[in-house]
Structure 1
Amino acid sequence: MKREQRNFFSAVLLSLILLLALAAPALSEAAEKSRAQADACVMDDAGLLSDADESSLEKTLADIGTAHKARIVVYTVKDLKGEKAGTVANRFADKFAVGTENGALVLLVAPKERDWYLATDKKMKSRITDDIGTDYLSGKVLPSFKKDDYAAGFKAYAAAADEMLTYYEKEGKPFDPKAGFSFIALGIAVVLAGGVFYLVRSSLIASMSNVTSATEADAYLSHEGLHLTENRDSFLYMNVTRHEKPKKQGKDTSSRDESHGGGGGKY
């Protein structure tokens, strides 16, 4: 009986050793993938990018992140599985912000649901603001997303993020595309343009020797009068085409809180 028990336990132990030996490569691969994702700036789980585009974007975002002591991330998902895009994006913003000086910015894209979301953690939201900042970024990427040109959209995202963070570091305040606009400069430009137009017009009129202003209104009338030789109205048909006016999609800001900024919507 004892011998049978020893044989049984030996068989179980051998089975466990074999199972661990077979599982070790898979566990190692999963661990490597997890470490790679922790360091990556591009996680294209939805497969929207070619290998070349993904590699190029990875380098670009990594360089921008290093320059600004932050993490700038693109994350595409196959399926949100009922979760809000903002909830998922916030979770990753918190994850990538760890160990950075200036936080994280995450652009999440879910092509199945046609959802997008820009998430900022607590540090980053002071640099890229909820309304002006996210509106500017979304304005750069959405035209490409609507055409399913994701590579171009992500490239525009990287450039805009770099522009906005560079502005913050130089000016000490969040980026505002209207900040460089001057009504005084506009007024001066309008006055100068009007003056140039007046001078050119006056010069052209002065050079036309055969053109003079009439002293009386009668000079502009034809004294021969108007003679109608035929008068006919023919109504053939009318074709009316109706097109539904597309409804404007509102921006989703439901995932904002004290620790997260950003916004999203449909594309």
Structure 2
Amino acid sequence: MVRGLRASGVVALAIVICACSQGQPSSSSAAADANAQIADRKNPFPPTGLVTDAANVLTANQRAEMTQKLAKFESRTRHQMAIVTTPSLGGRDVAVYTKDLANSWGVGRKGINDGIVILIAPTERKVRISVGHGLEERLPNALCQQIIESEMLPSFRRQDYAKGLAAGADALIAHLR
């Protein structure tokens, strides 16, 4: 579960398409704690809930609507999805950045590894859907790439980040029903 978050999210944007990542479960809690400490140094902003808009591309109403949708999804399925926007990847690979962020924030249930992070970095024009190991069979890379290309990027190209993020989250939720 996202530490300190009951209703938040994660997002990123791209012309370069990146699909789902397949996080590996930790072999021990000590390793998980060490990874979280490393990731915390690499991700300079804390989560603010299921939707964390560090790039300031969403209105308060858009954040609230997305948060409500993700909280309802988590309540119904117990899977946790976060939407995150970041002002910059800091020169890091979007896949690594998203995985580190998901691990450091603790998105998903420990031991089940069923978290999902949608990340957009509007400045670098990157987007990533990162899926925990526990959901990779239901949300494979090809499906995540298809969701990015068909549901999210058309809106992102018009700089309508809220619509693209909502469409991506809706598509992921629909596939997990």
In the TM superposition, residue 155 of structure 1 has moved relative to its aligned partner by 1.3
Deviations 1:137-181 (A, max 9, x none): 112111101110011111111210111001xxxxxxxxxxxxxxx
| Shift, 1:48, TM fit | 0.6
User: What does 1:86-125 correspond to in 2, within 5 Å?
Assistant: 86-94=95-103, 95-99=106-110, 101=112, 103-125=114-136
Contact 1:68 1:102 in 2 (8 A): no
Structure 1 residues 113, 38: closer, same or farther in 2, change over 3 A? closer
Contact 2:80 2:109 survives alignment (8 Å): no
- The question of whether the paired residues in 2 share the 8 Å contact of 1:44 and 1:77 is answered with yes
Q: CA deviation at 1:135?
A: 2.5
Gaps of 5+ in 1: 1-33, 167-267
**RMSD across aligned C-alpha pairs, in angstroms?**
1.9
Residue of structure 1 equivalent to 2:174:
163
1:134 corresponds, among 125, 138, 144, to 144
Checking the alignment, whether the CA contact within 8 Å between 1:74 and 1:106 is kept in structure 2 is: yes
Change beyond 3 A, Cα 1:100–1:40: farther
- Inter-partner Cα distance in structure 2 for 1:135 and 1:153: 14
| Structure 1 pair 100–144 and aligned structure 2 pair: CA distance change class (3 A) | farther
- TM-score when scaled to structure 1? 0.46
User: Is 2:54 aligned against 1:45?
Assistant: yes
TM-score (norm. length: structure 2): 0.68
How many equivalent residue pairs? Answer: 132
Distance 1:155 1:128 in 2: 17
Asked which structure has the greater CA Rg, the reply is 1
**Runs of 4+ with deviation above 2 angstroms:** 34-39, 92-95, 97-102
Instruction: Please list every run of 5 or more consecutive structure 2 residues that lacks an aligned counterpart in the other structure.
Output: 6-45
How far is 1:69 from its partner? 1.4
**Is 1:35 the equivalent of 2:4?**
yes
2:114–2:134 contact (8 Å) kept in structure 1: yes
- Whether the 8 Å CA contact 1:96–1:104 is kept in 2: the answer is yes
Aligned-residue identity in percent:
23
CA deviations over 1:193-219 (Å, ceiling 9, x no partner) = xxxxxxxxxxxxxxxxxxxxxxxxxxx
Considering Cα pairs closer than 8 Å and 6+ residues apart, tell me whether 1 or 2 has the greater RCO.
2
